[in-house]
Structure 1
Amino acid sequence: MAEIVASKKVLISGGTGFVGSAIIRALAEKHPSCAITVIDRSPPRPQHDLPKQVECMQVDVTNAREVGKAFLTVNPDVAIHTAGIVPCLADRFGRRLERTVWKTNVEGTRNMLNAAAENGAEAFIFTSTCCVTTDDLRISYPNINERWPTSPASLIYGESKAAAEALVLEASSDEMATCALRPSVLFGPGDYQLVPAIHACIRRYETPFIIGNGFNLWDVTHVSNIADAHVLAVENLVTSRTAAGEAFFIQNNEPIAFRDFCLAIWAHFGHIPPFEIRIPEGLAYFAGLACEITSWVTGSTTTLSRGSVRDACAVRYASGDKAKAILGYEARIGIEEGLRQSCEEYARRIGVELPDRGR
């Protein structure tokens, strides 16, 4: 298998970002002779290291002409599409960015698929998300599997990624095998959303507050684990093709209570909530509504909303059986080690010295 992958040319969209760069590092480490080209709107970023042998091209995936030109130049055997927009917390539960998100996540995927097919790529891997199912916040998702349907009533991120994933899976054929990987919430060194947002609760004196019962389980995925899954998908689609036309939930397979995850992050920074105040979900929901009304009247933004309350109380974890059976995927970095890496890297980024935890 190593010899087969080593002979391939791989094009990765979004390769200068958090997830894309991790995939490139994993692919280059396991298959160092593989030719890798990155296309991204942004040039290489210092916070996301890329191997020296990787070629980079500045390309906007929403521009079909630019994408087509890149594929024509590289003529890749394999395309990995990670480029997309993940709305920040303040925009996650609204529709303000709907047009931009849809254009990038759906039309950008369509451009990538068309260019890959036209230039004879044999494999196409799409970085999807668990949100294609779990962004319908009205429902609990305990130990779900890939047979669960995507929801017609969802947040714009989940809607857009579900539409893009459908394009990818429908495009799978004898000529070009495709698959989609659905990571849960991502963390790891270089994370710019999850750990920073939870750490910021310390500064805002929000750590004592528990919305709901605090026991709701959810999934997280270390970025190196989703990178490993992409490498496995490449290997599968250029050999046995048993993953063709399939979607896979990818996570650490260690469901953890949201509150416990937050407490672990705060502990790395030497913070323990001095007391706890439990806020019933219903009360928090109406507080979120009040914040939404206030932000609408004043033109400001809010992180507390009805959506963020439901999100914090959600039960969301999936089975890893299918990914293990077909891709051979198992999480290599566990939550405890992953959090250590994440918090140490974030502390360096913000210039904070972590307390000695006896290591």
Structure 2
Amino acid sequence: MDLPRILVTGGTGFLGSEVVKRLIETNKFEVTAIDINPPSLGTEISSDVRYVRANILSPAELHKVFAEARPSIVVHTAGLVPAGHARYHQKGKEAVFQVNVEGTRNVIEASKECGAKGLIFTSSVTVLVDELGKDFVNVNEEWPTGRASLVYGQSKTAAENLVLGANSPDFSTCSLRLAPIFGPNDSIIPQLHSLIPTSSFILGSGDNLTDFIYLSNAADAHVLAVQNLLNSATAADQAIFVTNGEPITARDFCIAVWKEFGHVPSRAIRIPVGVAWWMGLSAEAFSWLTGKDVGFSRGLISDGVVERYMSIAKARRILRYSPSVSLPDAIRISCAKLESRKRPKNEEIL
């Protein structure tokens, strides 16, 4: 019996490669992974996966690949995320919208043209939380979007609207709104590790809760969504928040990471939000005058002092999602991977 065919865009990326891995591990699917980049060195490559280089900004390339792959379900993880200081500025907006919105439009059209039964979109909690300066406490999918002030959240909102707007009796779509993803070879853990020299400083009260999701849990949610659309399709036309379900203060998350590297801050120096805001403004002025990115801004402060966590009741109910890797275990695994990367290549492990 032929297995259902799944096509994953961004299939060699951080999340996409993990989704591909999880799909193969079920032994229930044939998988095609497309990406603008080939698998990176160190990426686990499966002989059971067909890897194809294709650009989601090229309708012609997509049409050719999709026609050959003939997927039943498309998992669209490809996207562009503004990194670091760029998150808080309009610079690069055109490129972000081109990839995240127009690229998604192209993927939808290619999916429908090849006769796919459905599409799963990797969205983000930023469709809500990129409205800076506002608390989001245990929010659910009933909260309205469209108020994001940052480019990434705006682009993800526009793309999500395209995806859900394409839902029909013949083409089921759903959107998974993921919390910030961390895991082996991520960017979050190295960034937090680099803060160890300034670990005594706390912005504001430090007790604001936030959400994360471990890489494999995020991939599991995508596999569950694939299975849902192929069977009951109760996830069709739905946006669904997916996190680790373990809100944690930003301070406690940092300390948990630092402990894995043998560091515990010996003191705590609190910086009032108002003072931090002026420090951020000064840093932005310095950056503007010198052309150097100092990595500190009012946007970063606004991000770091508010509550941001979501209910995953809908994910549990519709997808039967339950995080398999707890937050403490996820932090330990991720930090161990970074530690192994830092170790000299000629150092033996006894």
Q: TM-score, normalization: structure 2?
A: 0.96
Superposed, 1:309-320 pairs within 5 Å as 309-320=301-312
Aligned residue among 322, 341, 351 for 2:333: 341
Matched, 1:125 2:117: no
Asked if 2 retains the 8 angstrom alpha-carbon contact of 1:18 and 1:48, the reply is no
Asked if 1:300 corresponds to 2:292, the answer is yes
Structure 1 contact 133–158 (Cα < 8 Å) conserved: yes
Structure-1 residue corresponding to 2:264: 272
Q: Do the aligned residues in 1 keep the contact of 2:62 with 2:110 (CA within 8 Å)?
A: yes
Quickly say closer, same or farther: Cα 1:352–1:131, change in 2 above 3 A. Answer: farther
Separation in 1, partners of 2:59, 2:294: 35
Q: Distance in 2 between matches of 1:73 and 1:220?
A: 37
Q: Deviations over 1:83-116 (max 9, x none)?
A: 0011111211111111111101001100000000
Kept in 1, the 8 Å contact 2:167–2:173? The answer is yes
- Measured after TM superposition, the shift of residue 190 of structure 1 is 2.1
In 2, distance between residues paired with 1:97 and 1:276? Answer: 37
2:78 corresponding residue in structure 1:
83
Please say if 1:22 is aligned against 2:14: no
In the alignment, is residue 255 of structure 1 matched against residue 250 of structure 2?
Answer: no
* Aligned residues of 2:128 and 2:147 also touching (Cα < 8 A): no
Q: Please say if residues 17 and 48 of structure 1, whose CA atoms lie closer than 8 Å, have aligned partners that are also in contact.
A: no
2:183–2:330 contact (8 Å) kept in structure 1: yes
**Which position in structure 1 is the counterpart of 2:7?**
11
Unaligned runs of 5+ in 1: 354-359
In structure 1, how many angstroms separate the alpha carbons of the residues matched to 2:22 and 2:13?
14
Question: What residue identity is the alignment partner of 2:78?
Answer: A
Asked if the contact 2:73–2:119 (Cα under 8 Å) also holds between the matched residues in 1, the reply is: yes
Deviates most, 8-17 or 43-52: 43-52
Amino acid at match of 1:269: F
Structure 1 Cα separation of the partners of residues 131 and 294 of structure 2: 20
Cα offsets for 1:262-304 (capped at 9, x unmatched): 0010010011123221001111011111111111111111211
Report SS of the residue matched to 2:108.
Answer: helix
Contact kept, 8 Å, 2:173 with 2:236, in 1: the verdict is: yes
CA contact (8 A) 2:34 2:52 kept: yes
- In structure 1, give the amino acid aligned to 2:69: V
Looking at structure 1, the residues matched to 175 and 217 of structure 2 have their Cα atoms a distance apart, in angstroms, of 15
Q: How many angstroms apart in 2 are the aligned matches of 1:118 and 1:42?
A: 24
Native 8 Å contact 2:133 2:303 kept in 1: no
| Structure 1 position 99 matched with structure 2 position 107 | no
Give the Cα separation in 2 of the matches to 1:15 and 1:349.
23
Alpha-carbon distance in structure 2 between the residues aligned to 1:165 and 1:210: 35
Structure 2: unaligned runs, 5 residues or longer: 346-350
Native 8 Å contact 2:96 2:151 kept in 1: yes
What one-letter code is carried by the residue in structure 2 that aligns with 1:64?
A: P
Among 195, 199, 202, the alignment partner of 2:189 is 195
How many residue pairs match? The answer is 345
* Pairwise CA RMSD: 1.3
Scaled by the length of structure 1, the TM-score of the pair is: 0.94
Q: For 2:12, give the aligned amino acid.
A: T
Equivalent residue letter for 1:312? G
- Structure 2 residue matching 1:128: 3-state secondary structure: strand
Alignment of 1:212-251 (within 5 A): 212-251=204-243
Structure 1 runs, 4 residues or longer, greater than 3 Å off = none
